[in-house]
A and B are shown apart, each in its own frame.
Chain A
């Protein structure tokens, strides 16, 4: 099987609000696939439709060869789901939570004991196996949640913003675990709003307002970005910023320390010269150079550019 998840025209309304708007997706097996997008971009809703928790308003999604809605029970046996909010039981201990999830997935007796022991070992839970889950720290909880989601050795893991309440070191460790799982044959779909995490995915879809804006491998996305990136260093950054903001060719400006990171329309042949001309007479000492795009640039270009072109269309109409 080459694709673990296939979505076609997947749409979901909540009353008048369109949370997911005609998404087409192919998630390859045995890779980490990322959903990058701001809050409210439809990441959670899409994942919930994949679990059969929400019924699509239109379109369909096939998970591991089964329809996620009509064949939800079959799908659920094969997938592990980590909810955005910690959803194990605060008033059960770490071990009790794991044992309960084992029983629910049909593991009993020695098999259950071995599996729980294995996960406790793999996810460093031994120290607090007897502690109530409600007393764990963010990073510990998240390890427990991942341990629980992988108890039944699912082919597919759906992780909804798993690292949102976790410190950087825990996040690094967590991603190590994800790569271990992929090496052992799992497919992982993870949603995030951290750029560094998105960068680690094999493939990535940038979501905004319920739509897939761009999709591909992170490196490829940075290469194919629909914009040029120029960095400006000068004495009077606020003034330079003020000037550049009024330039129609400039898409977005972000300050990085003592430099301005400027995203410009790709149609421009020599963006550096354009910037130098704009700044002439104001920041003569400016150092201007073209740089490679980061994933953040891709994200900004994907969301800002669409907005700009949508506005343009509206104005024209």
Chain B
């Protein structure tokens, strides 16, 4: 009881201070609102009408259907039909086409064997095109009666629920995670060093407040703030960008709360290893870019090199993007994603423990 009371004393002190800090309070609402407007309108991963060249070496009815399917995605516009490999290369070399499709001669047999039947060649100087190719490669183009289905992939599923491939629908849920990741880490990164810089820490650590009480008490108010931000972003996403919320709101909040706790604990850890707020913010920023870039928010996770995938596994945002996309877009349940939840939980426990162990109630 006493343990809880001291922890709550810290939490309520933190809340009071936060409420007085008008600027920070404004940022809690302002940052998410501004970011969702910015990202929602500006980020557009939709790639349409890329000039494409097709080299159909099979020349069967199936291959013609396939070219038709590709054209129907509107991602590419078939501008050229090459008759030979040389012509195909020449068109690619000139840069007239950004994307090339080669259908290999014995298409049907290759599909039966599960071998490579279609090659998509992209202009490597435009990085975003590679994502397009990877997206195309896992689209259910080649499912036809009598042909074995190719391995189900995540992108194939996503396409099914976002048939128009509208960016906002994909981006907004992930944006919840990204914005929370930015604001939460910053909030707690300053939490301990601020007390140190203002000279409050010397008094605070001479009181009977324990390290665990201090850490959890510092964390608690921001979980509530994180959930407010989640609400704001989802609300704006829903009204401005018509993002549907297929799954359960309760599960969305539960998942978000776990993710918020995980990112807060990362910030807290940063706060215990740095000496000034300036240092803390720099370290916080250092963790942000990898989180945003490697979480599958910007680039498809499957397209990243092995090492990057491993690093991404450590980042809470990676798992939360999967969780929130699952709930919001596919109507998945939390218990469908035990692995992602487990990893978030583990991250939180490890970081919080590390923070408590790293922090000493001493000045030296």
Contacts and interface: CB of A to CB of B under 8 A. Distances in A.
B203 interface: yes
Given A53-B205, A106-B5, A100 B199 contact: no
Interface string B324-364: 00000000000000000000000000000000000001111
B17 interface: yes
Contacts of A89: 13, 17, 198, 200
The residue among A52, A72, A86, A104 with the most chain B CB atoms within 10 A of its own CB is: A104
A171 B198 CA distance: 25
A188 interface: no
A86 B2 CA distance: 27
Contacts of B10: 104
A51 interface: yes
Nearest to A103: B9
B207 A105 contact: yes
A52 B364 CA distance: 10
Contact of B202 (A87, A96, A100, A101): A87
Interface string B218-243: 00000000000000000000000000
A48 to B, nearest CB: 6
Given A89-B17, A92-B17, A104 B362 contact: no
Contacts of A90: 198
Contact of A105 (B8, B208, B362): B208
Contact of A54 (B2, B199, B200, B363): B363
A88 B200 contact: yes
Nearest to A160: B202
A83 B206 CA distance: 10
A70 interface: no
B165 interface: no
Nearest to B20: A91
Contacts of A132: 20
B363 A104 contact: no
Contacts of B20: 91, 132
Contacts of A86: 199
Interface in A62-105: 72-73, 76-77, 79, 81, 83, 85-92, 96, 100-101, 103-105
Contacts of A108: 5
Nearest to B364: A54
Secondary structure of the B side of the interface?
Answer: helix
B363 A77 contact: no
Contact of B206 (A51, A96, A103): A51
Given A88-B200, A106-B5, A73 B208 contact: yes
Contacts of A73: 208
A259 interface: no
Nearest to A55: B364
A103 B5 contact: yes
A105 B209 CA distance: 8
A91 B12 CA distance: 13
Contact of B16 (A55, A96, A105): A96
Nearest to A100: B13
B202 A53 contact: yes
Contacts of B21: 91
Contacts of B361: 52-53, 72
A212 B201 CA distance: 29
Nearest to A57: B364
B5 A87 contact: no
Contacts of A96: 13, 16
Interface string B192-218: 000000111111111111000000000
B340 to A, nearest CB: 37
A90 B17 CA distance: 9
B200 A106 contact: no
Nearest to A132: B20
A67 B344 CA distance: 41
A53 B206 contact: yes
The residue among B203, B207, B363 with the most chain A CB atoms within 10 A of its own CB is: B203
B364 A104 contact: no
14 contacts: A52-B206, A52-B362, A53-B205, A53-B362, A76-B207, A81-B206, A83-B203, A85-B202, A87-B200, A88-B200, A96-B16, A101-B207, A104-B208, A104-B209
Given A53-B362, A85-B202, 19 more contacts: A51-B206, A53-B205, A54-B363, A54-B364, A77-B208, A81-B206, A86-B199, A87-B199, A87-B200, A89-B13, A91-B20, A92-B13, A92-B16, A92-B17, A100-B13, A104-B207, A105-B207, A106-B6, A108-B5
